[in-house]
Amino acid sequence: MKSGSLVFLTAFVALAFSWTGFVLVPQLQLGRLEAAKTVPAGDAYPVARSGQARQGAEVYRSLGCVYCHSRQIGQQGTTVEVTLTSVGTNAANVLSAIQKAAPHLAATASLASVPQVLGQVADTALADDAVTAIAEAGGEATVAILPDGPDIRRRWGRRRSVAQDYLYDPVVQPGIRRFGPDLTDAGATRASAEWQLLHLYAPKTVVPDSTMPGYPFLFVERKIGKTPAPDALPLSGTFAPPDGHEVVPTEEAQALVAYLLSLRADAPLYESPVTPPPAPATNGVAVATK
Amino acid sequence: MTATTLPSPGPIDRSCRSPLFALFGGAAGWLALSSAFGLAAAMTFHNPALLAGCSVLTFGRAYPAWAHLFIYGFGVPTALGAGLWLLARLGRIKAMNPALITVGAKLWHVGVLVGLLGIVTGDSSGFEWLELPRYAAVILFLAFMLMTVWLFMTFSWRAEPRLYPSQWFVLAAVFWFIWIFSTAVFLLQMHPVRGVVQAAVAWWFAGNLLNVWLPLAGLAVTFYVLPKLSGKPLHSYYLALFIFVTVALFGSWTGMPVQAPLPAWMGIFSSTAAALMVVPALALGILVVKTSGGGDQPPCFGGVLCFAKFGAFMLILATLLAAVAACPVMARVTEFTWFTEGQVLLRLYGFFAMTLFAAVYHILPRISGREISPRRVRAHFWLAMPGSLLLALPLLAGGVRQGLRLADAAVPFQETARAAVLWVRISTLGETLIALGALVYLANVGWLILSHYRALLKREMTDALAWQPVEVKS
């Protein structure tokens, strides 16, 4: 290369390409993303966080939780699950129908109670065969297609993360490290504010072999007044404060916990469906939009 | 560097003196401090309760403080100083307006300090490799522009029209930094984009910083120092040109994790680009071996050449590791683990820092006319070289162990963390060696600069004393 302008031209072209691809195109494609509708309920998703939880997001950023915790779920394939919802009038008939259509499901089916998860089959065609056979025998069954993969089996989330999940985050931190567990669904798996507060104060109080650092500076230790504060931490043993003292969370700790409890991404979206298992998950969807 | 007294520096070297003292001196201090934060962060994995009471040193602040000080405190100013000197030397022209460049350098260090205070008090932006808060970013950007205006001037007024490969690399590195830094600061901090676009911009920035800017800025030095110190010409300009173009073309597409909540094509582009980076890495291997290898070379005992050679080989190794980790089958294991950390640290300490040390040890004696004792340079080498390996390699091993367990949902989470922790603790040993090396470096650089100013002061004093009687007489 003989001239300086050629150097700049090369650099400019290379960088302009990648800038267009990785900055401009995503902005055009996703920058104006709107809230989606959950499927099938049709609720708007996501819903903006409460003021306190938004404040908590700032605490989360400021303390650098992202250097140990990711907030993104990957998915590797799906599983197809057949659930028996009714045995109709003739249980024996249904049982033999299942045995015929999908023998490995029947082996575990005692049919004592419904709804009952019969098990997983290889693909939707097999599942449909089983459902038809059950219907012909007078019973009823449903098929659920569930996302699969190690992240989901660890109960870190119910489906893969999608762009919508981050729509209202002021600072988007998907994280690239898992020195601690993924927190995508932490508000659902650790739904107790007291657990979260204790865990932040000293992780070993609730997870004895935890390697997470504590955040005692988010709490104040003070003399107990006339009556103990209602939000004082129930500490005991080596973690207990000196006699006559109590440990209470600061506003920051409360906000951080509000944020952690708001972390749920189980709303089923068209792009990333979750066919909810029968009973509990439907209210999971309702809560998720709070 | 020979043991004889050095010739007094020529006008070009003298013109670079004050900006380079400001850039290199401050950077050496930041490097030592960054190692201190790195060690504080590592303590978390030995005893998480140890520093828990201290909000400034909690892992989530000590770690970004380390990264901030390494990249913006040490890396950018040192690379910029080396770049200025290369442009002046190769262009056969004095640095333009060194006084303003010195002002820019000092302003830069102020910006780094402001950024550090922001991060440890909880004002971090939350984006990796760009944690410095907005107000610090503005200071850094102004300082950078102030310096690079004169850098470009120095280049365009050069007396020697022909270009040497190092010049392409310096110019492109400066250009790259301005573009990616301003884009990232503007779209993440000034006028934030919404949702996952933030993540895309942040990863684009990080990919370009680590996989393009770092190699460009470092190889500018490598391609100058290797031929100079091994007494052979650069083996092939065309190979250097090939490396330049391929790093710019492929490296700029790296950065998007395979499993990101982004459109799938982005991850695919990035893993392909990371795989293609093997091409410039192999070309670099050929170029380094052909330029500085061969039977007539004295073996490497820890001199300046060893820094540069070791650095180049570690860039090759890190690039190969990144390519392996980006292939989707491997990514399922290594993503989210210590493996990535090990690869990046090999790039930062094994390649980038070592190469910049070579530049500084080569340049400082020339601009000051003072020698750094080869023993002290060797001491630094024998701390920094094993340190960088001992820091990075255990993390690679620990990362694979951790990743294999993370990928198997039947293994409880705590076990995945336990699988890596021994290796992480071993790597602290490497971090300690690096920190000691950084202290030796600070002493080497600081001593040289201080003794220069002491001599200057002495001369001024004697001049002043010698001058007065003259005035009395007249």
Task: Give me B84's structure tokens.
Answer: 């200025």
Closest partner residue to B55 among A68, A173, A217, by Cβ? A217
* Residue A67 shares a structural domain with residue A86: no
Q: Which of A32, A272, A290, A27 is nearest to A159 (CA)?
A: A272
Whether A272 is covered by a domain: the verdict is no
Which residues of A fall within a CB distance of 8 Å from B406? 150, 178
Judge whether B84 and B100 are in contact, CB under 8 Å. no
Task: Give me A117's structure tokens.
Answer: 């998860």
Whether A173 is covered by a domain: the verdict is no
Mean pLDDT of successive 10-residue segments in chain B (474 residues)?
62 96 98 98 94 94 98 98 97 96 98 98 96 97 98 95 95 97 97 95 98 98 94 93 96 93 94 97 96 70 92 98 94 94 98 98 95 95 97 98 95 94 96 98 97 91 75 51
* Residue A88 shares a structural domain with residue A207: no
**Beta carbons within 10 angstroms of residue A138's beta carbon:** 15
Asked if the C-beta of B191 comes within 8 angstroms of chain A's C-beta atoms, the answer is: no
Res B469: pLDDT: 57
Q: Are A4 and B163 inside 8 Å of each other by CB?
A: yes
* Residue A136 shares a structural domain with residue A188: no
Residue of chain B with shortest Cα separation from A200? B52
Full DSSP string of B373-391: PHHHHHHHHHHHHHHHHHH
Residue linked to tokens 């969370």:
A249
Shortest distance between the Cα of B310 and any Cα of chain A, in A, equals 27
CA dist B238 and A144 (Å) reads 59
CA dist B161 and B155 (Å) reads 10
* Residue A65 shares a structural domain with residue A99: no
> Under DSSP, is residue A79 helix (H, G, I), strand (E, B) or coil?
strand
Task: Give me A152's structure tokens.
Answer: 């989901």
Exposed/middle/buried for residue B370 (C-beta within 10 Å: 0-12, 13-18, 19+) = middle
Q: ipTM score here?
A: 0.93
Which residues of B fall within a CB distance of 8 Å from A3? 163
* Residue A89 shares a structural domain with residue A69: no
Shortest distance between the Cα of A112 and any Cα of chain B, in A, equals 29
Res B1: pLDDT: 39
In chain A, which stretches have pLDDT less than 70? Answer: 1-2, 106-112, 274-290
Q: Are B125 and A166 inside 8 Å of each other by CB?
A: no
Strand partners, A141: A84
Range of the domain at A230: 46-74+182-261
Pairing of strands A140-147, A116-121: unpaired
Residue of chain B with shortest Cα separation from A220? B53
Q: Are A181 and B156 inside 8 Å of each other by CB?
A: no
* Residue A138 shares a structural domain with residue A255: no
Closest partner residue to A61 among B126, B180, B183, by Cβ? B126
Judge whether B82 and B221 are in contact, CB under 8 Å. yes
Exposed/middle/buried for residue B191 (C-beta within 10 Å: 0-12, 13-18, 19+) = exposed
Q: Are A2 and B198 inside 8 Å of each other by CB?
A: no
Q: Are B52 and A27 inside 8 Å of each other by CB?
A: no
pLDDT digits (tens, 9 = 90+) for A261-273: 999 877 778 777 7
Task: Give me B412's structure tokens.
Answer: 């409880």
CA dist B258 and B207 (Å) reads 13
Q: How many domains does chain A have?
A: 2
The arrangement of strands across the sheet holding A116-121 comes to A116-121, A78-86, A140-147
Which residues of B fall within a CB distance of 8 Å from A10? 172, 244-245, 248
CA dist B400 and B419 (Å) reads 9
Q: Are A15 and B176 inside 8 Å of each other by CB?
A: yes
CA dist B289 and A1 (Å) reads 23
Q: Are B336 and A31 inside 8 Å of each other by CB?
A: no
Whether A13 is covered by a domain: the verdict is no
Task: Give me A62's structure tokens.
Answer: 């400021």
Which residues of B fall within a CB distance of 8 Å from A1? 163, 168, 241
Q: Are B204 and A22 inside 8 Å of each other by CB?
A: yes
Q: Which of B210, B64, B75 is nearest to B144 (CA)?
A: B75
Closest partner residue to B197 among A26, A164, A209, by Cβ? A26
Shortest distance between the Cα of A132 and any Cα of chain B, in A, equals 33
Whether A168 is covered by a domain: the verdict is no
What CATH number corresponds to the domain at position A115? 3.30.1390.10
Which residues of A fall within a CB distance of 8 Å from B51? 213
Q: Are A213 and B269 inside 8 Å of each other by CB?
A: no
Asked if the C-beta of B450 comes within 8 angstroms of chain A's C-beta atoms, the answer is: no
Asked if the C-beta of B128 comes within 8 angstroms of chain A's C-beta atoms, the answer is: yes
Whether A169 is covered by a domain: the verdict is no
| Residues within 8 A of B (CB atoms), A 144-203 only | 150, 153-154, 160-174, 176-181, 202-203
How many Cα atoms occupy the beta-carbon half-sphere of A104 within 13 Å? Answer: 8
Asked if the C-beta of A23 comes within 8 angstroms of chain B's C-beta atoms, the answer is: yes
What CATH number corresponds to the domain at position A204? 1.10.760.10
Whether A171 is covered by a domain: the verdict is no
Q: Are B262 and A66 inside 8 Å of each other by CB?
A: no
Asked if the C-beta of B203 comes within 8 angstroms of chain A's C-beta atoms, the answer is: yes
CA dist B405 and B147 (Å) reads 49
Which residues of A fall within a CB distance of 8 Å from B185? none
Whether A276 is covered by a domain: the verdict is no
CA dist B295 and B285 (Å) reads 17
Q: Are A2 and B256 inside 8 Å of each other by CB?
A: no
Asked if the C-beta of B175 comes within 8 angstroms of chain A's C-beta atoms, the answer is: yes
Residue B136 backbone dihedrals phi, psi, to 5 degrees: -70, -35
**Beta carbons within 10 angstroms of residue B427's beta carbon:** 26
| Residues within 8 A of A (CB atoms), B 378-417 only | 406-409, 413-414, 416-417
Task: Give me A251's structure tokens.
Answer: 């506003």
Q: Are A23 and B187 inside 8 Å of each other by CB?
A: yes
Sign of CA dihedral A168, A173, A176, A182: negative
Q: Which of A171, A233, A166, A236 is nearest to A196 (CA)?
A: A233
Residue linked to tokens 């690039």:
B319
Closest partner residue to B200 among A8, A22, A211, by Cβ? A22
Q: Are B198 and A171 inside 8 Å of each other by CB?
A: yes
Residue B161 is classified by DSSP as: -
Strands (E), A124-267: 140-147, 219-223, 245-249
**Beta carbons within 10 angstroms of residue B62's beta carbon:** 26
Which residues of B fall within a CB distance of 8 Å from A170? 192
Residue A218 is classified by DSSP as: G
Res A247: pLDDT: 96
Whether A155 is covered by a domain: the verdict is no
Q: Are B59 and A2 inside 8 Å of each other by CB?
A: no
CA dist B195 and A167 (Å) reads 4
> Under DSSP, is residue B59 helix (H, G, I), strand (E, B) or coil?
helix
| Residues within 8 A of B (CB atoms), A 78-107 only | none
**What amino acid is encoded at B8 in this protein?**
S
**Cα B172 to Cα A13, A177, B52, B179, B219, distances in angstroms:** 11, 31, 43, 11, 11
| Residues within 8 A of B (CB atoms), A 40-69 only | 61-68
Could you tell me where the DSSP H helices lie in B157-236? 165-185, 196-208, 214-230
CA dist B323 and B317 (Å) reads 10
CA dist B24 and B36 (Å) reads 19
Residue linked to tokens 């981050």:
A166
CA dist B439 and A72 (Å) reads 40
CA A71 to centroid of chain Cα atoms? 9
Exposed/middle/buried for residue B429 (C-beta within 10 Å: 0-12, 13-18, 19+) = middle
Q: Are B253 and A12 inside 8 Å of each other by CB?
A: no
Q: Count Cβ–Cβ pairs < 8 Å, chain A vs chain B.
A: 210
Q: Is the pTM of this model over 0.90?
A: yes
Res A282: pLDDT: 35
Residue of chain A with shortest Cα separation from B194? A31
